[in-house]
């Protein structure tokens, strides 16, 4: 009971106080905060200039430069990390990274890799990229998911056996699978364009309709991505993240209107937004993430001038 009360208090404090502190190097365009990436390094901040790793024993950060922006990092074998690099060039792809030597070694070239997802139950990796979704059992030999060939798959999230993958190009919408990725259903007619998505722990799916259209804003699906309805309208939103207490957080990009910017907690019941920008050095939010292994709730966000954490 005491643990539950502490967790509730922490969640309430996070939403109300919302004071951010820098996490990792400052002044970088941070793309992602990744967790449990290596035996020695607990955290990784992926950014446009490379990757920065945090060593728990010394409580120090070490930055390794790369020729391309690092989009995401994932645990591979304890000695090497699995990373994706890209900016639309011919050198984009899947790499291993060895912190001991500071070297990146290509596994496979793919244009504009967007994310890494690992299914812990089936022990299968997924990576979405400009021309589809690829999968692997060992992170070295990759094969195309045929249903999603030639689709720009920009994000993916699972809930039990329900997988959702967002396509964002000339044709758009959310592909959905009800059998853990064995078969996929094409986006339903009228589905919104979604660039970032996240399930809550009860199976409600939230997604960001980006840019400056009449349909831009936060959308949700109660049937695992088959049909969608709008939560609220807002332009230039970038990302959505949900913590273990089912709190929904949304972030904006470069919003020239200045009306809604930075990061906010969204209440689906009341429809209210509680902005929580105190302590942020930059209000362009590129990613929102939660550490699944921390005992206390901590919210992380990546901005155009570094990553930040809110305990």
Looking at every residue in the chain, the average pLDDT score rounds to 92
Contacts 24+ apart (CB under 8 A), 279-283: 279/18, 279/19, 279/20, 279/21, 279/308, 279/310, 280/20, 280/308, 281/22, 281/26, 281/305, 281/306, 281/308, 282/306, 283/252
* Residue whose tokens read 């645990």: 75
pLDDT higher than 50, residue 10: no
Each residue of 136-152: pLDDT tens digit?
999 999 999 999 999 99
| Rounded distance between C-alpha atoms, residue 304 and residue 261, angstroms | 13
Indicate the DSSP class of residue 146: G
pTM: 0.92
CB 190 within 8 Å of CB 171: no
Each residue of 104-130: pLDDT tens digit?
999 999 999 999 999 999 999 999 999
| Rounded distance between C-alpha atoms, residue 40 and residue 62, angstroms | 12
Measure CA 222 to chain center: 21
pLDDT higher than 50, residue 8: no
Going by C-alpha positions, the residue among 92, 85, 23 that lies closest to residue 52 is 23
Indicate the DSSP class of residue 160: T
Gyration radius (Cα) of the chain, Å: 19
Each residue of 255-300: pLDDT tens digit?
776 679 999 999 999 999 999 999 999 999 999 999 876 656 799 9
């Amino acid at each position: 009971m005491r643990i539950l009360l502490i967790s509730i208090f922490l969640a309430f404090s996070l939403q109300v106080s919302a004071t951010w502190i820098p996490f990792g190097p400052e002044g970088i365009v941070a793309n992602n905060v990744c967790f449990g990436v290596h035996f020695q390094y607990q955290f990784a901040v992926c950014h446009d200039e490379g990757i920065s790793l945090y060593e728990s024993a010394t409580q120090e950060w070490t930055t390794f430069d790369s020729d391309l922006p690092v989009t995401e990092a994932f645990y591979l074998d304890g000695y090497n990390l699995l990373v994706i690099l890209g900016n639309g060039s011919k050198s984009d792809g899947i790499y291993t990274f060895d912190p001991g030597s500071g070297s990146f070694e290509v596994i496979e070239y793919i244009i504009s890799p967007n994310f890494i997802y690992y299914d812990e139950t089936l022990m299968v990796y997924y990576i979405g990229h400009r021309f589809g979704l690829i999968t692997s059992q060992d992170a070295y030999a990759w094969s195309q998911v045929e249903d999603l060939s030639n689709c720009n798959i920009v994000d993916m999230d699972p809930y039990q056996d329900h997988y959702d993958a967002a396509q964002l190009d000339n044709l758009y919408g959310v592909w959905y699978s009800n059998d853990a990725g064995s078969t996929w259903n094409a986006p339903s007619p009228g589905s919104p364009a979604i660039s970032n998505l996240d399930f809550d722990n009860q199976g409600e799916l939230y997604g960001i309709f980006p840019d400056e259209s009449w349909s831009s804003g936060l959308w949700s699906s109660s049937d695992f991505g088959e049909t969608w309805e709008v939560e609220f309208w807002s332009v230039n939103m970038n990302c959505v993240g949900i913590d273990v207490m089912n709190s929904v957080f949304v972030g904006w990009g470069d919003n020239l209107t200045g009306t809604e910017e930075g990061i906010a907690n969204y209440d689906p019941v009341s429809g209210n937004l509680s902005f929580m920008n105190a302590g942020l050095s930059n209000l362009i939010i590129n990613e929102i993430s939660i550490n699944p292994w921390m005992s206390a709730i901590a919210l992380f966000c990546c901005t155009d001038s570094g990553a930040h954490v809110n305990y």
